[in-house]
A and B are shown apart, each in its own frame.
Chain A
Amino acid sequence: MMRFVARVLVPARLRRAFRSRLDARYITKADHRQDVRSLREEYRRLHQEAKDDRKLDAEHALREIELLRHEVAALRDEVVRLRDATKESLQKVKSVSDGAAQARRLATEGAGAIDHVLQSEVRIWQAIDTLASRMPDAEPVR
């Protein structure tokens, strides 16, 4: 109605002038619709992008978790392996040190036994010489 009134009442020149001023100050309905449309599109695009990003992140995280899971499993295997190896080498150390203690004991006892034999030898010669001196006719023993 207003449009019609304006069209009727206002001379075309004035109306043009008015409209051009008005156009200079306000966006046209068509442009506005276009803006709304492009904003809506922009929003949809960003929304999709965010969605895609989240999806990508999630995929990354999943891959990461998978990797870590493998690593943990490998480490667990390593721990088991090392634990077994430690047990084994402890066993070895123990048997070596048992061997060393045994060797030490044998060396000490062996040396003690040799000392005993050496002392006995001195005593035996002492006894032989004593006996020999009681038998003046006997051949000298050495």
Chain B
Amino acid sequence: MRVKWTFDEDVWRLTFLLDPEDELTGTCTDGQRLELRTNTCQVRLPPSEGRGPDVHPDLLAVVAWTVTAPWTRRRVTFDRPISPALAAALHDGWGVEAGPVGADQRSGTQLAISYSGGADSMAVAAIFPDAPFIHFRRISHPRVPNRWADYRSDVTARLARETGRDVTIVESDLEFLLKFPWPGFTEHHAVAAGALLLADEMDLGGIAMGYEIGSRWLGGDRYVHRFTPDNPMWSASGQWGTLFEAAGLPIVLPVGGISEAMTMRIALGSELRDQVRWCLLGPHSGACGVCGKCLYKELIQAAVERRPLNTTITATDKVGRKWQNPPPYGGQEMIEYGIAHVPGIENTLFAKAAEYLQASKESTRWLEHCYAPAIEEIPEQWRKQVDAFMVDNVGLMTEDEARRVETWGAG
């Protein structure tokens, strides 16, 4: 893989060329099969006087790697020399030869939040009330007809601005590089493209993300659905954690030790609660209420608020049907929590799932506390703040509760 960046008036354009052994198909770190569509993309930074192309090559290399990793088989050649540490991280993590080598290692001091506007990143924002937000906004790709216009990236960007926090909105079409399964991040880490490209300018030494216990420790989402202390995407010592750290921008997961029920509780108790939005389809006035994500989040919110489920979705609707099948489910720990805490769940579309899972308040109590090893993993300069927040607002897991994390998905 050969990578070439150009910079013109606050816009970074990336072109990559496949080596003979590279392919148009590949696998995301979480195991999802992927197919490449095209080999150019852009990242548009907000206009700024006097910004030049002088960004540390490791930062450019990491952004490029988030969109080229699945297709690269043996080596990656960047258009400017990278640091030996970054080359080592690429070699150790992916078995690829990376070069040329010849730059100093970079570092920074500040923490920024990769802010999506959902409950998880809002909880992160509550833990770090002074950290600036960097918001990734999808824009259309000039070479790809956008047939996914129902995705309202304008709404989440507007809500992010309405928080009144220091918000930088970075626009990119890099999701359209992906042909299969649908436009999206080739690797989850591509969401940090803006933070990486602004890291020197903003003196960033860490990027905080809203990945919670399910993603970090329980192998959630599309991954293996079992305890993953060495999670390749989100553990500090995993391949991506090591790579970001080598670029002087370690990934910080302030809510990595708590469940989505707790991030939801923190977000709903936050002063930004009016701007929280997890739905990508609804208009500015509100979530759509009928997509799968809205249903999932409604279950969690109803559980947190200890009230009946409020939805028009039924068991025969497309998004309701999957809950009629037996587990495993993605985000299953949250389904268990919802079933245990939502009154009258047996009269909802989750009745079947409730029967399968047999969850109780007692059996899901561990999801109301913080898994301590997640705090240990946070870089030292920000650990204390997270630790204090968790002790004050959530409470740490007991040994028995921690065992629930560590035996998740076993058997």
Beta-carbon contact of A119 and B145 below 8 Å = no
Is B36 part of the contact surface with A, judged by Cβ < 8 Å?
Answer: yes
Is A129 part of the contact surface with B, judged by Cβ < 8 Å?
Answer: yes
Question: Which chain A residues (87-142) contact chain B, with CB distance < 8 Å?
Answer: 107-108, 110-111, 114-115, 118-119, 121-123, 125-126, 129-130
Question: Which chain B residues (32-47) contact chain A, with CB distance < 8 Å?
Answer: 36-39
Interface residue tally of chain B, by bracket?
A: 10 to 19
Chain B residues near A130 (CB-CB < 8 A): 20
Which A residue sits closest to B179, measured CB to CB? A115
Chain A residues near B145 (CB-CB < 8 A): 107, 110-111, 114
* Whole-angstrom CA separation of A125 from B19 in the bound complex: 9
Is B144 part of the contact surface with A, judged by Cβ < 8 Å?
Answer: yes
Chain A residues near B19 (CB-CB < 8 A): 126, 129
Which B residue sits closest to A126, measured CB to CB? B18
Beta-carbon contact of B144 and A114 below 8 Å = yes
Is B22 part of the contact surface with A, judged by Cβ < 8 Å?
Answer: yes
Given known A126-B17, A126-B20, A130-B20, contact A119–B38 (CB-CB < 8 A)? yes
Beta-carbon contact of B20 and A115 below 8 Å = no
* Whole-angstrom CA separation of A123 from B144 in the bound complex: 17
Chain B residues near A108 (CB-CB < 8 A): 147
Beta-carbon contact of A118 and B143 below 8 Å = yes
Is B24 part of the contact surface with A, judged by Cβ < 8 Å?
Answer: yes
Interface residue tally of chain A, by bracket?
A: 10 to 19
* Whole-angstrom CA separation of A13 from B18 in the bound complex: 158
Give min CB distance, B211 to chain A, whole Å: 31
Beta-carbon contact of B147 and A126 below 8 Å = no
Which A residue sits closest to B146, measured CB to CB? A111
Q: Is the interface of A mostly helix, strand, loop or mixed?
A: helix
Given known A110-B145, A111-B145, contact A119–B18 (CB-CB < 8 A)? no
Given known A129-B17, A130-B20, contact A122–B147 (CB-CB < 8 A)? no
Contact of B147 among A111, A125, A129 (CB under 8 A): A111
Which A residue sits closest to B180, measured CB to CB? A115
* Whole-angstrom CA separation of A75 from B18 in the bound complex: 74
Given known A122-B24, A123-B24, A130-B20, contact A107–B38 (CB-CB < 8 A)? no
Q: Is the interface of B mostly helix, strand, loop or mixed?
A: loop
Chain B residues near A110 (CB-CB < 8 A): 145
Give min CB distance, B6 to chain A, whole Å: 13
Beta-carbon contact of A118 and B37 below 8 Å = yes
* Whole-angstrom CA separation of A119 from B39 in the bound complex: 8
Beta-carbon contact of B179 and A122 below 8 Å = no
Give min CB distance, A125 to chain B, whole Å: 6
Beta-carbon contact of A122 and B143 below 8 Å = no
Question: Which chain B residues (1-43) contact chain A, with CB distance < 8 Å?
Answer: 17-20, 22, 24, 36-39
Beta-carbon contact of B38 and A122 below 8 Å = yes
Chain A residues near B37 (CB-CB < 8 A): 115, 118-119
Given known A115-B37, A115-B179, contact A122–B144 (CB-CB < 8 A)? no
Beta-carbon contact of B17 and A125 below 8 Å = yes
Beta-carbon contact of B20 and A122 below 8 Å = no
Give min CB distance, B63 to chain A, whole Å: 19
Chain A residues near B36 (CB-CB < 8 A): 119, 122
Produce 1/0 per residue, B287-321, CB < 8 A to A.
00000000000000000000000000000000000
* Whole-angstrom CA separation of A107 from B179 in the bound complex: 16
Give min CB distance, B20 to chain A, whole Å: 5
Beta-carbon contact of A126 and B144 below 8 Å = no
Beta-carbon contact of B17 and A107 below 8 Å = no
Chain A residues near B143 (CB-CB < 8 A): 114, 118
Give min CB distance, B226 to chain A, whole Å: 35
Produce 1/0 per residue, B113-149, CB < 8 A to A.
0000000000000000000000000000001110100
Chain B residues near A118 (CB-CB < 8 A): 37-38, 143-144
* Whole-angstrom CA separation of A110 from B144 in the bound complex: 10
* Whole-angstrom CA separation of A118 from B38 in the bound complex: 5
Give min CB distance, A71 to chain B, whole Å: 47
* Whole-angstrom CA separation of A123 from B23 in the bound complex: 9
* Whole-angstrom CA separation of A108 from B145 in the bound complex: 10
Beta-carbon contact of B24 and A119 below 8 Å = yes
Beta-carbon contact of A126 and B179 below 8 Å = no
Which B residue sits closest to A114, measured CB to CB? B145
Which A residue sits closest to B38, measured CB to CB? A118
> Mind listing 23 A-B residue pairs with CB under 8 Å?
A107-B147, A108-B147, A110-B145, A111-B144, A111-B145, A114-B144, A114-B145, A115-B37, A115-B144, A118-B38, A119-B36, A119-B37, A119-B38, A122-B24, A122-B39, A125-B17, A125-B39, A126-B18, A126-B19, A126-B20, A126-B22, A129-B19, A129-B20
Known: A111-B144, A115-B144. 6 other contacts (CB 8 A): A118-B38, A119-B24, A122-B36, A122-B38, A129-B19, A129-B20
> Which residues of A does B touch, CB under 8 Å?
107-108, 110-111, 114-115, 118-119, 121-123, 125-126, 129-130
Which 4 A-B residue pairings sit nearest by Cβ, starting from the closest?
A118-B38, A126-B18, A130-B20, A111-B145
